[in-house]
Structure 1
Amino acid sequence: MSLPASQTTVPHAVSSPWREIAVALVQTRSDALAIEFAGAVARQFDARLQVLQLMVMPAPMIDAWAMIPDPSFPQIYDDLRESARAAADSTRKTLAGLGVPGDVRTLEALCVEPASLAAGAARSSDLVVLARPEDGQADVAIAHTYFSALLHESGRPIVVVPPNDLQPYPPRRALVAWSDTPEAARALREALPLLEGCERVNVLLVDPVANALEAREDRGSGALGYLRRHGIAAHLDTCKSRGRSIGESILAHAQHVSAELIVAGGYGHGKVREWVIGGTTRDLFFQARVPVLFAH
Protein backbone atom coordinates (compact mmCIF):
# COMPACT_ATOMS: atom_id res chain seq x y z
CA MET A 1 0.00 0.00 0.00
CA SER A 2 1.51 3.32 -1.01
CA LEU A 3 0.34 6.83 -1.67
CA PRO A 4 0.52 7.82 -5.35
CA ALA A 5 2.78 10.82 -5.78
CA SER A 6 1.55 13.91 -7.62
CA GLN A 7 5.14 15.09 -8.12
CA THR A 8 8.56 13.49 -7.93
CA THR A 9 9.52 15.45 -4.83
CA VAL A 10 7.44 16.98 -2.05
CA PRO A 11 8.53 20.53 -1.19
CA HIS A 12 9.18 21.20 2.46
CA ALA A 13 7.61 24.20 4.13
CA VAL A 14 10.00 27.01 5.03
CA SER A 15 8.35 27.41 8.40
CA SER A 16 6.31 24.35 9.23
CA PRO A 17 2.78 25.11 10.48
CA TRP A 18 2.37 21.55 11.75
CA ARG A 19 4.95 20.05 14.10
CA GLU A 20 2.91 17.29 15.74
CA ILE A 21 0.33 15.17 13.94
CA ALA A 22 -1.88 12.81 15.92
CA VAL A 23 -3.25 9.61 14.42
CA ALA A 24 -6.24 8.17 16.27
CA LEU A 25 -6.48 4.41 15.81
CA VAL A 26 -9.93 2.82 15.87
CA GLN A 27 -8.71 -0.79 15.63
CA THR A 28 -9.74 -1.52 12.04
CA ARG A 29 -7.81 -2.37 8.87
CA SER A 30 -8.24 1.24 7.72
CA ASP A 31 -5.91 2.43 10.50
CA ALA A 32 -3.02 1.65 8.15
CA LEU A 33 -4.35 4.24 5.68
CA ALA A 34 -4.53 6.87 8.41
CA ILE A 35 -0.92 6.21 9.40
CA GLU A 36 0.24 6.31 5.79
CA PHE A 37 -1.60 9.56 5.05
CA ALA A 38 -0.30 11.14 8.25
CA GLY A 39 3.20 9.98 7.35
CA ALA A 40 2.99 11.77 3.99
CA VAL A 41 1.86 14.97 5.73
CA ALA A 42 4.66 14.60 8.28
CA ARG A 43 7.29 14.26 5.55
CA GLN A 44 6.03 17.39 3.81
CA PHE A 45 5.95 19.54 6.93
CA ASP A 46 8.84 18.04 8.90
CA ALA A 47 6.40 16.95 11.56
CA ARG A 48 6.37 14.20 14.16
CA LEU A 49 3.64 11.56 14.46
CA GLN A 50 1.91 10.73 17.70
CA VAL A 51 -0.07 7.53 17.21
CA LEU A 52 -2.85 7.22 19.78
CA GLN A 53 -3.62 3.60 20.59
CA LEU A 54 -6.73 3.25 22.74
CA MET A 55 -7.20 0.34 25.13
CA VAL A 56 -10.75 -0.13 26.39
CA MET A 57 -10.26 -1.58 29.87
CA PRO A 58 -13.24 -3.52 31.23
CA ALA A 59 -14.43 -2.43 34.66
CA PRO A 60 -13.77 -5.02 37.38
CA MET A 61 -16.84 -7.08 38.13
CA ILE A 62 -17.96 -7.44 41.72
CA ASP A 63 -18.47 -10.91 43.18
CA ALA A 64 -22.13 -11.09 44.15
CA TRP A 65 -21.34 -13.07 47.29
CA ALA A 66 -18.07 -11.68 48.53
CA MET A 67 -18.60 -8.09 47.30
CA ILE A 68 -15.01 -7.92 46.06
CA PRO A 69 -13.57 -7.39 42.58
CA ASP A 70 -13.23 -10.50 40.43
CA PRO A 71 -9.67 -11.74 41.09
CA SER A 72 -9.25 -12.71 37.43
CA PHE A 73 -9.19 -9.09 36.26
CA PRO A 74 -5.49 -8.42 36.97
CA GLN A 75 -4.67 -11.20 34.50
CA ILE A 76 -7.13 -9.79 31.98
CA TYR A 77 -5.44 -6.39 32.26
CA ASP A 78 -1.99 -7.96 31.90
CA ASP A 79 -3.10 -9.77 28.73
CA LEU A 80 -4.57 -6.57 27.25
CA ARG A 81 -1.41 -4.62 28.02
CA GLU A 82 0.80 -7.28 26.48
CA SER A 83 -1.33 -7.28 23.34
CA ALA A 84 -1.12 -3.47 23.22
CA ARG A 85 2.68 -3.58 23.58
CA ALA A 86 2.94 -5.97 20.65
CA ALA A 87 0.66 -3.79 18.51
CA ALA A 88 2.63 -0.67 19.46
CA ASP A 89 5.91 -2.34 18.49
CA SER A 90 4.44 -3.24 15.11
CA THR A 91 3.26 0.35 14.58
CA ARG A 92 6.72 1.68 15.48
CA LYS A 93 8.20 -0.51 12.74
CA THR A 94 5.66 0.98 10.33
CA LEU A 95 6.72 4.52 11.32
CA ALA A 96 10.34 3.60 10.78
CA GLY A 97 9.46 2.27 7.33
CA LEU A 98 7.72 5.55 6.50
CA GLY A 99 10.84 7.47 7.46
CA VAL A 100 9.11 9.84 9.89
CA PRO A 101 9.84 10.47 13.57
CA GLY A 102 7.17 9.55 16.07
CA ASP A 103 5.98 7.13 18.67
CA VAL A 104 2.92 5.27 19.90
CA ARG A 105 1.06 6.49 22.96
CA THR A 106 -1.11 3.83 24.56
CA LEU A 107 -4.09 5.22 26.47
CA GLU A 108 -5.97 3.03 28.92
CA ALA A 109 -9.66 3.89 29.00
CA LEU A 110 -10.95 2.66 32.34
CA CYS A 111 -14.26 4.18 33.43
CA VAL A 112 -13.81 6.90 30.82
CA GLU A 113 -15.10 7.28 27.27
CA PRO A 114 -12.17 6.27 24.98
CA ALA A 115 -13.12 8.82 22.31
CA SER A 116 -12.95 11.65 24.85
CA LEU A 117 -9.63 10.32 26.10
CA ALA A 118 -8.29 10.42 22.55
CA ALA A 119 -9.57 13.99 22.12
CA GLY A 120 -7.77 15.09 25.27
CA ALA A 121 -4.51 13.54 24.09
CA ALA A 122 -4.89 15.15 20.64
CA ARG A 123 -4.92 18.67 22.11
CA SER A 124 -1.12 18.63 22.18
CA SER A 125 -0.97 18.14 18.40
CA ASP A 126 -1.54 20.46 15.44
CA LEU A 127 -3.62 18.13 13.27
CA VAL A 128 -5.51 14.86 13.80
CA VAL A 129 -5.87 12.10 11.21
CA LEU A 130 -8.57 9.45 11.44
CA ALA A 131 -9.56 6.70 9.00
CA ARG A 132 -13.12 5.76 8.12
CA PRO A 133 -13.41 1.96 8.11
CA GLU A 134 -14.09 0.16 4.85
CA ASP A 135 -17.18 -1.72 5.93
CA GLY A 136 -18.99 -3.07 8.95
CA GLN A 137 -21.72 -0.98 10.51
CA ALA A 138 -20.27 -1.34 14.01
CA ASP A 139 -16.76 -0.29 12.94
CA VAL A 140 -18.04 2.77 11.09
CA ALA A 141 -20.22 3.75 14.05
CA ILE A 142 -17.22 3.53 16.39
CA ALA A 143 -15.10 5.63 14.02
CA HIS A 144 -17.85 8.23 13.84
CA THR A 145 -17.97 8.39 17.64
CA TYR A 146 -14.23 9.07 17.71
CA PHE A 147 -14.58 11.66 14.94
CA SER A 148 -17.34 13.52 16.76
CA ALA A 149 -15.41 13.62 20.05
CA LEU A 150 -12.18 14.68 18.37
CA LEU A 151 -13.89 17.42 16.40
CA HIS A 152 -15.74 18.86 19.40
CA GLU A 153 -13.27 18.27 22.20
CA SER A 154 -9.73 18.43 20.80
CA GLY A 155 -9.79 21.96 19.41
CA ARG A 156 -7.83 20.69 16.41
CA PRO A 157 -8.66 20.19 12.71
CA ILE A 158 -9.44 16.60 11.71
CA VAL A 159 -8.61 14.93 8.41
CA VAL A 160 -10.85 11.93 7.74
CA VAL A 161 -9.23 9.50 5.31
CA PRO A 162 -11.63 7.39 3.21
CA PRO A 163 -11.25 3.61 2.97
CA ASN A 164 -10.88 3.54 -0.81
CA ASP A 165 -7.63 4.05 -2.72
CA LEU A 166 -5.97 7.24 -1.56
CA GLN A 167 -5.67 10.25 -3.83
CA PRO A 168 -2.25 11.60 -4.84
CA TYR A 169 -0.45 13.44 -2.07
CA PRO A 170 0.00 16.32 -1.73
CA PRO A 171 -3.44 17.17 -3.16
CA ARG A 172 -3.34 19.15 -6.40
CA ARG A 173 -7.01 20.16 -6.50
CA ALA A 174 -9.15 21.07 -3.51
CA LEU A 175 -12.76 22.02 -2.95
CA VAL A 176 -13.67 24.38 -0.10
CA ALA A 177 -17.29 23.98 1.00
CA TRP A 178 -17.99 27.56 2.01
CA SER A 179 -20.79 28.92 4.18
CA ASP A 180 -21.12 31.96 6.40
CA THR A 181 -20.30 30.12 9.63
CA PRO A 182 -17.44 30.19 12.16
CA GLU A 183 -16.82 26.49 11.46
CA ALA A 184 -16.28 27.08 7.73
CA ALA A 185 -13.99 30.04 8.42
CA ARG A 186 -11.94 28.02 10.87
CA ALA A 187 -11.66 25.10 8.43
CA LEU A 188 -10.48 27.48 5.71
CA ARG A 189 -7.75 28.85 7.98
CA GLU A 190 -6.66 25.43 9.22
CA ALA A 191 -6.43 24.07 5.67
CA LEU A 192 -4.09 26.80 4.39
CA PRO A 193 -0.93 24.64 4.61
CA LEU A 194 -2.48 22.12 2.21
CA LEU A 195 -4.28 24.65 0.00
CA GLU A 196 -1.09 26.65 -0.59
CA GLY A 197 0.38 23.70 -2.49
CA CYS A 198 -2.65 23.08 -4.70
CA GLU A 199 -2.70 23.80 -8.41
CA ARG A 200 -6.40 24.70 -8.22
CA VAL A 201 -8.77 25.54 -5.38
CA ASN A 202 -12.52 25.83 -5.94
CA VAL A 203 -14.69 27.60 -3.36
CA LEU A 204 -18.23 26.24 -3.54
CA LEU A 205 -21.44 27.87 -2.32
CA VAL A 206 -24.60 25.78 -2.45
CA ASP A 207 -27.86 27.75 -2.77
CA PRO A 208 -26.19 31.11 -1.99
CA VAL A 209 -28.34 33.87 -0.51
CA ALA A 210 -27.57 37.44 0.51
CA ASN A 211 -26.44 38.26 4.03
CA ALA A 212 -25.68 41.44 5.97
CA LEU A 213 -22.21 41.79 4.43
CA GLU A 214 -22.51 40.36 0.93
CA ALA A 215 -25.17 40.58 -1.76
CA ARG A 216 -26.23 37.32 -3.33
CA GLU A 217 -24.05 37.91 -6.38
CA ASP A 218 -21.07 38.75 -4.11
CA ARG A 219 -21.36 35.75 -1.79
CA GLY A 220 -18.02 34.09 -1.26
CA SER A 221 -15.98 37.16 -2.16
CA GLY A 222 -14.65 37.39 1.39
CA ALA A 223 -13.38 33.80 1.30
CA LEU A 224 -11.82 34.35 -2.13
CA GLY A 225 -10.08 37.50 -0.93
CA TYR A 226 -8.77 35.68 2.14
CA LEU A 227 -7.28 32.91 0.03
CA ARG A 228 -5.80 35.30 -2.52
CA ARG A 229 -4.11 37.31 0.23
CA HIS A 230 -2.40 34.06 1.14
CA GLY A 231 -1.20 33.60 -2.42
CA ILE A 232 -3.87 31.03 -3.39
CA ALA A 233 -5.58 31.62 -6.74
CA ALA A 234 -9.03 30.34 -5.85
CA HIS A 235 -12.09 30.13 -8.11
CA LEU A 236 -15.67 30.66 -7.00
CA ASP A 237 -18.35 28.09 -7.90
CA THR A 238 -22.05 28.14 -7.05
CA CYS A 239 -24.67 25.46 -7.49
CA LYS A 240 -28.27 24.74 -6.61
CA SER A 241 -29.09 21.73 -4.50
CA ARG A 242 -32.20 20.89 -6.59
CA GLY A 243 -33.67 18.53 -4.02
CA ARG A 244 -30.38 17.04 -2.90
CA SER A 245 -28.87 17.58 0.53
CA ILE A 246 -26.08 20.14 0.88
CA GLY A 247 -23.63 17.32 1.54
CA GLU A 248 -24.68 15.44 -1.58
CA SER A 249 -24.29 18.64 -3.61
CA ILE A 250 -20.78 19.18 -2.25
CA LEU A 251 -19.75 15.61 -3.01
CA ALA A 252 -21.14 15.77 -6.55
CA HIS A 253 -19.27 19.01 -7.25
CA ALA A 254 -16.08 17.62 -5.73
CA GLN A 255 -16.26 14.77 -8.23
CA HIS A 256 -17.05 17.22 -11.05
CA VAL A 257 -13.91 19.28 -10.42
CA SER A 258 -11.76 16.19 -9.63
CA ALA A 259 -11.01 17.43 -6.13
CA GLU A 260 -8.48 15.42 -4.15
CA LEU A 261 -9.29 17.18 -0.88
CA ILE A 262 -12.46 18.68 0.59
CA VAL A 263 -12.38 21.39 3.27
CA ALA A 264 -15.49 21.91 5.39
CA GLY A 265 -16.70 23.20 8.71
CA GLY A 266 -18.00 20.49 11.01
CA TYR A 267 -21.31 20.33 12.90
CA GLY A 268 -22.47 23.88 12.29
CA HIS A 269 -25.98 22.86 13.41
CA GLY A 270 -24.90 21.02 16.53
CA LYS A 271 -23.80 17.45 17.10
CA VAL A 272 -27.10 16.13 18.46
CA ARG A 273 -29.20 17.52 15.60
CA GLU A 274 -26.89 16.11 12.93
CA TRP A 275 -26.57 12.79 14.77
CA VAL A 276 -30.34 12.34 14.91
CA ILE A 277 -31.61 13.73 11.61
CA GLY A 278 -28.48 13.93 9.52
CA GLY A 279 -26.65 16.87 8.01
CA THR A 280 -23.74 18.01 5.87
CA THR A 281 -21.06 16.79 8.28
CA ARG A 282 -22.55 13.30 8.42
CA ASP A 283 -22.87 13.15 4.62
CA LEU A 284 -19.24 14.13 4.14
CA PHE A 285 -17.99 11.78 6.85
CA PHE A 286 -19.86 8.71 5.61
CA GLN A 287 -19.76 9.27 1.84
CA ALA A 288 -16.64 11.23 0.82
CA ARG A 289 -14.23 9.32 -1.39
CA VAL A 290 -11.37 11.79 -0.85
CA PRO A 291 -9.84 13.07 2.38
CA VAL A 292 -11.90 15.74 4.14
CA LEU A 293 -10.42 18.34 6.49
CA PHE A 294 -12.98 19.36 9.10
CA ALA A 295 -12.79 22.06 11.78
CA HIS A 296 -15.28 23.12 14.42
Structure 2
Amino acid sequence: MRSQLFVPLLTYPDPTSTTFTEHAAALAKYLGADIVARVVDIDIKTPSAAFGGLFLDVPKMVAEAEDASRADGENLKAAIETEAGKAGVAVTTEVKRFHPEEACPMAAVEARYYDLSAIGWEPHHERAYELAESLVFDSGRPVVLLPDASNMDRLGHIAIAWDGSRAAARALADAAPLLAKASAISVIMAIGDKALPEENIAEHLVHHLKARGLEATSHVVDASADPTGGVIQRRALELGAGLLVMGGYGHSKLREFTLGGVTRDMLTDLRLPVLFSH
Protein backbone atom coordinates (compact mmCIF):
# COMPACT_ATOMS: atom_id res chain seq x y z
CA MET A 1 0.00 0.00 0.00
CA ARG A 2 1.39 3.40 -1.00
CA SER A 3 1.18 6.29 1.42
CA GLN A 4 -0.20 9.69 0.46
CA LEU A 5 1.08 13.12 1.43
CA PHE A 6 -1.59 15.83 1.53
CA VAL A 7 -0.31 19.24 0.41
CA PRO A 8 -2.69 22.23 0.69
CA LEU A 9 -1.56 25.32 -1.23
CA LEU A 10 -3.04 28.69 -0.27
CA THR A 11 -3.49 31.63 -2.62
CA TYR A 12 -4.96 34.39 -0.41
CA PRO A 13 -4.11 36.93 0.86
CA ASP A 14 -0.58 35.80 -0.03
CA PRO A 15 0.32 32.63 -1.91
CA THR A 16 2.21 29.75 -0.37
CA SER A 17 5.93 30.00 -1.11
CA THR A 18 7.04 28.05 -4.19
CA THR A 19 10.08 26.98 -2.14
CA PHE A 20 7.67 24.87 -0.12
CA THR A 21 6.67 22.88 -3.21
CA GLU A 22 10.29 21.80 -3.61
CA HIS A 23 10.48 20.78 0.06
CA ALA A 24 7.17 18.90 -0.13
CA ALA A 25 8.39 16.92 -3.14
CA ALA A 26 11.61 16.04 -1.29
CA LEU A 27 9.61 14.84 1.74
CA ALA A 28 7.35 12.70 -0.46
CA LYS A 29 10.39 11.19 -2.18
CA TYR A 30 11.97 10.34 1.18
CA LEU A 31 8.75 8.67 2.33
CA GLY A 32 8.05 6.94 -0.98
CA ALA A 33 4.67 8.67 -0.93
CA ASP A 34 2.39 10.11 -3.61
CA ILE A 35 1.46 13.78 -3.35
CA VAL A 36 -2.19 14.86 -3.27
CA ALA A 37 -2.12 18.64 -3.74
CA ARG A 38 -5.07 20.96 -3.22
CA VAL A 39 -4.82 24.49 -4.58
CA VAL A 40 -7.24 26.67 -2.62
CA ASP A 41 -8.63 29.57 -4.67
CA ILE A 42 -10.86 32.11 -2.99
CA ASP A 43 -14.52 32.73 -3.64
CA ILE A 44 -15.51 35.84 -1.72
CA LYS A 45 -19.20 35.73 -2.69
CA THR A 46 -21.18 38.59 -1.14
CA PRO A 47 -19.10 41.24 0.69
CA SER A 48 -20.29 42.26 4.12
CA ALA A 49 -22.19 45.51 4.56
CA ALA A 50 -19.36 46.94 6.67
CA PHE A 51 -16.83 46.14 3.94
CA GLY A 52 -19.06 47.67 1.28
CA GLY A 53 -19.41 50.90 3.24
CA LEU A 54 -15.68 51.54 3.27
CA PHE A 55 -15.08 51.32 -0.47
CA LEU A 56 -16.92 52.67 -3.49
CA ASP A 57 -16.14 49.88 -5.95
CA VAL A 58 -16.39 46.71 -3.90
CA PRO A 59 -17.25 44.40 -6.83
CA LYS A 60 -14.09 45.51 -8.63
CA MET A 61 -11.94 44.86 -5.56
CA VAL A 62 -13.49 41.42 -5.11
CA ALA A 63 -12.90 40.56 -8.77
CA GLU A 64 -9.27 41.69 -8.55
CA ALA A 65 -8.66 39.62 -5.41
CA GLU A 66 -10.23 36.55 -6.98
CA ASP A 67 -8.28 37.02 -10.21
CA ALA A 68 -5.01 37.30 -8.25
CA SER A 69 -5.94 34.15 -6.32
CA ARG A 70 -6.60 32.22 -9.55
CA ALA A 71 -3.28 33.37 -11.06
CA ASP A 72 -1.34 32.41 -7.94
CA GLY A 73 -3.16 29.09 -7.89
CA GLU A 74 -2.07 28.33 -11.45
CA ASN A 75 1.54 29.14 -10.54
CA LEU A 76 1.43 26.89 -7.47
CA LYS A 77 -0.18 24.05 -9.41
CA ALA A 78 2.57 24.26 -12.00
CA ALA A 79 5.25 24.47 -9.29
CA ILE A 80 4.14 21.37 -7.35
CA GLU A 81 3.77 19.36 -10.55
CA THR A 82 7.22 20.46 -11.73
CA GLU A 83 8.94 19.70 -8.41
CA ALA A 84 7.18 16.33 -8.10
CA GLY A 85 8.36 15.47 -11.61
CA LYS A 86 11.95 16.37 -10.73
CA ALA A 87 11.76 14.17 -7.62
CA GLY A 88 10.15 11.27 -9.46
CA VAL A 89 7.05 11.49 -7.27
CA ALA A 90 3.49 10.86 -8.45
CA VAL A 91 1.25 13.89 -7.92
CA THR A 92 -2.47 14.56 -8.22
CA THR A 93 -3.59 18.19 -8.18
CA GLU A 94 -7.04 19.68 -7.82
CA VAL A 95 -8.21 23.26 -7.51
CA LYS A 96 -10.95 23.99 -5.00
CA ARG A 97 -12.69 27.28 -4.24
CA PHE A 98 -13.72 28.41 -0.78
CA HIS A 99 -14.54 31.60 1.04
CA PRO A 100 -11.30 32.81 2.74
CA GLU A 101 -12.67 31.93 6.18
CA GLU A 102 -13.52 28.38 5.08
CA ALA A 103 -10.18 27.48 3.48
CA CYS A 104 -8.23 26.34 6.56
CA PRO A 105 -11.06 24.43 8.30
CA MET A 106 -11.88 22.61 5.07
CA ALA A 107 -8.22 21.71 4.54
CA ALA A 108 -8.23 20.11 8.02
CA VAL A 109 -11.31 18.07 7.12
CA GLU A 110 -9.74 16.80 3.90
CA ALA A 111 -6.43 16.02 5.62
CA ARG A 112 -8.19 13.31 7.65
CA TYR A 113 -8.18 11.04 4.59
CA TYR A 114 -4.38 11.00 4.14
CA ASP A 115 -1.40 9.52 5.96
CA LEU A 116 0.42 12.79 6.52
CA SER A 117 0.07 16.47 5.65
CA ALA A 118 2.79 18.97 4.81
CA ILE A 119 2.41 22.73 4.89
CA GLY A 120 4.79 25.59 4.30
CA TRP A 121 5.70 27.66 7.32
CA GLU A 122 6.20 31.38 6.88
CA PRO A 123 5.84 33.24 10.20
CA HIS A 124 4.64 36.45 8.52
CA HIS A 125 2.19 34.73 6.18
CA GLU A 126 -1.28 35.81 7.31
CA ARG A 127 -2.88 32.39 6.85
CA ALA A 128 0.07 30.09 7.63
CA TYR A 129 -0.56 30.17 11.38
CA GLU A 130 -4.28 29.50 10.94
CA LEU A 131 -3.60 26.61 8.55
CA ALA A 132 -1.06 25.06 10.93
CA GLU A 133 -3.45 25.39 13.86
CA SER A 134 -6.32 23.84 11.88
CA LEU A 135 -4.35 20.86 10.60
CA VAL A 136 -2.43 20.10 13.80
CA PHE A 137 -5.43 20.27 16.12
CA ASP A 138 -8.45 19.49 13.93
CA SER A 139 -7.33 16.98 11.28
CA GLY A 140 -6.49 14.10 13.61
CA ARG A 141 -3.49 13.35 11.40
CA PRO A 142 0.22 14.23 11.76
CA VAL A 143 1.44 17.40 10.06
CA VAL A 144 4.95 18.38 8.95
CA LEU A 145 5.68 22.11 8.94
CA LEU A 146 8.37 23.01 6.42
CA PRO A 147 10.02 26.44 6.80
CA ASP A 148 11.77 27.88 3.75
CA ALA A 149 15.14 27.31 5.46
CA SER A 150 14.57 23.54 5.64
CA ASN A 151 17.58 21.37 4.77
CA MET A 152 15.88 18.41 3.14
CA ASP A 153 19.18 16.56 2.66
CA ARG A 154 19.19 15.86 6.41
CA LEU A 155 15.83 14.07 6.65
CA GLY A 156 17.61 10.82 7.49
CA HIS A 157 18.56 12.20 10.91
CA ILE A 158 15.47 12.62 13.08
CA ALA A 159 15.28 14.29 16.49
CA ILE A 160 12.48 13.48 18.94
CA ALA A 161 11.42 16.00 21.58
CA TRP A 162 10.54 13.60 24.38
CA ASP A 163 8.84 14.39 27.69
CA GLY A 164 7.00 11.11 28.17
CA SER A 165 3.60 12.74 27.66
CA ARG A 166 0.57 11.38 25.82
CA ALA A 167 1.06 13.94 23.04
CA ALA A 168 4.72 12.97 22.63
CA ALA A 169 3.78 9.27 22.49
CA ARG A 170 1.18 10.02 19.81
CA ALA A 171 3.77 11.92 17.77
CA LEU A 172 6.24 9.05 18.15
CA ALA A 173 3.69 6.58 16.79
CA ASP A 174 2.70 8.88 13.91
CA ALA A 175 6.36 9.33 12.96
CA ALA A 176 6.94 5.56 12.64
CA PRO A 177 7.22 5.58 8.80
CA LEU A 178 9.90 8.28 9.02
CA LEU A 179 11.74 6.63 11.90
CA ALA A 180 11.88 3.32 10.02
CA LYS A 181 13.90 5.05 7.28
CA ALA A 182 16.14 7.06 9.62
CA SER A 183 19.89 6.56 9.66
CA ALA A 184 20.13 8.28 13.06
CA ILE A 185 17.65 9.21 15.81
CA SER A 186 18.40 11.71 18.58
CA VAL A 187 16.08 11.72 21.58
CA ILE A 188 16.14 15.15 23.24
CA MET A 189 14.83 15.64 26.76
CA ALA A 190 14.48 19.17 28.17
CA ILE A 191 14.88 19.64 31.92
CA GLY A 192 14.25 22.64 34.12
CA ASP A 193 10.98 23.78 32.55
CA LYS A 194 8.51 21.29 34.07
CA ALA A 195 8.26 18.10 36.08
CA LEU A 196 8.93 14.89 34.16
CA PRO A 197 7.42 11.46 34.85
CA GLU A 198 10.86 9.96 35.58
CA GLU A 199 14.52 10.96 35.47
CA ASN A 200 15.73 8.74 32.64
CA ILE A 201 12.86 8.98 30.15
CA ALA A 202 15.21 9.74 27.23
CA GLU A 203 17.31 6.64 27.89
CA HIS A 204 14.13 4.65 28.41
CA LEU A 205 12.90 5.61 24.94
CA VAL A 206 16.31 4.94 23.37
CA HIS A 207 16.23 1.44 24.85
CA HIS A 208 12.86 0.75 23.21
CA LEU A 209 13.94 2.20 19.87
CA LYS A 210 17.09 0.06 19.85
CA ALA A 211 14.98 -2.99 20.64
CA ARG A 212 13.18 -2.29 17.36
CA GLY A 213 16.44 -2.19 15.46
CA LEU A 214 16.72 1.61 15.27
CA GLU A 215 19.93 3.55 15.89
CA ALA A 216 19.22 6.08 18.65
CA THR A 217 21.03 8.23 21.22
CA SER A 218 19.79 10.36 24.12
CA HIS A 219 20.54 14.01 24.86
CA VAL A 220 19.58 16.28 27.74
CA VAL A 221 19.20 20.07 27.42
CA ASP A 222 18.65 22.68 30.11
CA ALA A 223 15.56 24.80 29.45
CA SER A 224 15.45 26.54 32.81
CA ALA A 225 16.60 29.91 31.45
CA ASP A 226 15.45 29.96 27.81
CA PRO A 227 12.26 29.01 25.92
CA THR A 228 12.07 25.24 25.65
CA GLY A 229 11.20 25.22 21.97
CA GLY A 230 14.27 27.23 21.05
CA VAL A 231 16.57 25.12 23.24
CA ILE A 232 15.32 21.88 21.69
CA GLN A 233 15.61 23.18 18.14
CA ARG A 234 19.12 24.50 18.74
CA ARG A 235 20.30 21.14 20.05
CA ALA A 236 18.60 19.28 17.19
CA LEU A 237 20.43 21.45 14.65
CA GLU A 238 23.74 21.05 16.49
CA LEU A 239 23.32 17.28 16.25
CA GLY A 240 22.68 17.55 12.50
CA ALA A 241 19.01 16.57 12.58
CA GLY A 242 16.86 17.47 9.59
CA LEU A 243 13.45 16.81 11.17
CA LEU A 244 12.08 17.21 14.69
CA VAL A 245 9.19 15.11 16.00
CA MET A 246 7.05 16.45 18.82
CA GLY A 247 3.55 16.41 20.24
CA GLY A 248 1.48 19.53 19.70
CA TYR A 249 -0.38 20.83 22.71
CA GLY A 250 -3.28 23.24 22.80
CA HIS A 251 -6.94 23.57 23.70
CA SER A 252 -9.92 25.55 22.50
CA LYS A 253 -12.70 27.09 24.54
CA LEU A 254 -15.47 29.37 23.33
CA ARG A 255 -13.79 29.47 19.92
CA GLU A 256 -10.61 30.98 21.35
CA PHE A 257 -7.47 28.94 20.87
CA THR A 258 -4.61 28.67 23.33
CA LEU A 259 -1.36 26.96 22.40
CA GLY A 260 0.82 25.16 24.89
CA GLY A 261 4.12 26.88 25.68
CA VAL A 262 6.55 24.69 23.71
CA THR A 263 4.21 24.51 20.71
CA ARG A 264 3.94 28.31 20.73
CA ASP A 265 7.74 28.65 21.00
CA MET A 266 8.20 26.41 17.97
CA LEU A 267 5.74 28.27 15.77
CA THR A 268 7.22 31.62 16.76
CA ASP A 269 10.72 30.62 15.65
CA LEU A 270 10.68 27.51 13.46
CA ARG A 271 14.20 26.65 12.29
CA LEU A 272 13.84 23.15 10.85
CA PRO A 273 11.04 20.83 9.66
CA VAL A 274 8.83 19.71 12.53
CA LEU A 275 6.32 16.87 12.62
CA PHE A 276 3.50 17.86 14.96
CA SER A 277 0.92 15.38 16.19
CA HIS A 278 -2.00 15.98 18.56
TM range (shorter): 0.7 to 0.9
User: What are the superposed Cα offsets for residues 65-112 of structure 1, whole Å, 9 maximum, x if unpaired?
Assistant: xxxxxxx969957983x6655544444433443323223333322385
Alpha carbons of structure 1 residues 86 and 58: separation in structure 2 relative to 1, 3 Å: closer
1:242 corresponds to which residue? 224
Which of 112, 116, 120 does residue 109 from structure 2 map onto? 120
Q: Which residue of 1 aligns with 2:243?
A: 261
Q: Out of 28, 34, 47, which is 2:20 matched to?
A: 34
The 8 Å contact of residues 24 and 118 in structure 2, kept in 1 or not, is answered as yes
Distance 1:283 1:85 in 2: 34
Q: Judging changes above 3 Å, is the alpha-carbon distance between structure 1 residues 147 and 51 closer, same or farther for their aligned structure 2 residues?
A: same
Mapped partners of 1:152, 1:243: distance in 2: 29
The aligned residue for residue 163 of structure 1 is 148
1: CA distance, partners of 2:49 / 2:117: 41
Give the percent of matched residue pairs that are identical in Structure 1 and Structure 2: 24
Aligned with residue 188 of structure 1, among 139, 148, 172: 172
> Matches of residues 51-62 of structure 1 in structure 2 within 5 Å?
51-61=37-47
Displacement, 1:245? 2.0
Aligned to 2:137: 152
Matched, 1:279 2:261: yes
CA RMSD between the two structures: 3.2
CA distance in 1, matches of 2:221, 2:154: 27
Shift of 1:219: 1.8
SS at match of 1:161: strand
Pairwise CA distance, 1:116: 0.5
After TM superposition, give the deviation of residue 288 of structure 1 in Å.
2.3
Identify unmatched segments of 5+ residues in structure 2.
Answer: 51-57
2:215 pairs, out of 213, 218, 233, with 233
For 1:288 and 1:26, the matched residues in 2 are separated by 19
Larger strand percent: 2
1:276 and 1:20 map into 2 onto residues whose CA distance is 30
Q: Any conservation in 2 of the 1:21–1:47 contact (CA below 8 Å)?
A: yes
Gaps of 5+ in 1: 1-14, 65-71
Q: How many residues align?
A: 261
Structure 2 length-normalised TM: 0.79
Whole-angstrom CA distance in 1 between matches of 2:75 and 2:231: 41
What whole-Å deviation, never above 9, does each CA across 1:9-45 have from its counterpart, x for those lacking one? xxxxxx65xx211112233465323221221222334
Post-superposition offset of 1:169 = 2.9
Instruction: Tell me whether 1:201 sits opposite 2:162 in the alignment.
Output: no
What amino acid is aligned across from residue 287 of structure 1 in structure 2?
A: D
Task: Return the offset for 1:262.
Answer: 0.9
Write the distance in 2 (CA, Å) between the matches of 1:277 and 1:44: 30
In the alignment, which residue of structure 2 is the partner of 1:270?
251
- Asked whether 1:44 is paired with 2:30, we answer yes
Using structure 1 for the length normalisation, give the TM-score: 0.75
Q: Relative to structure 1, is the Cα distance of residues 188 and 167 closer, same or farther in structure 2, using a 3 angstrom cutoff? A: same
Cα distance between partner residues in 2 of 1:62 and 1:171: 46
Change (3 A) 1:144 1:55: same
| In structure 2, distance between residues paired with 1:159 and 1:244 | 24
Larger CA Rg, structure 1 vs 2:
1
- C-alpha separation between the residues in 1 aligned to 2:127 and 2:173? 28
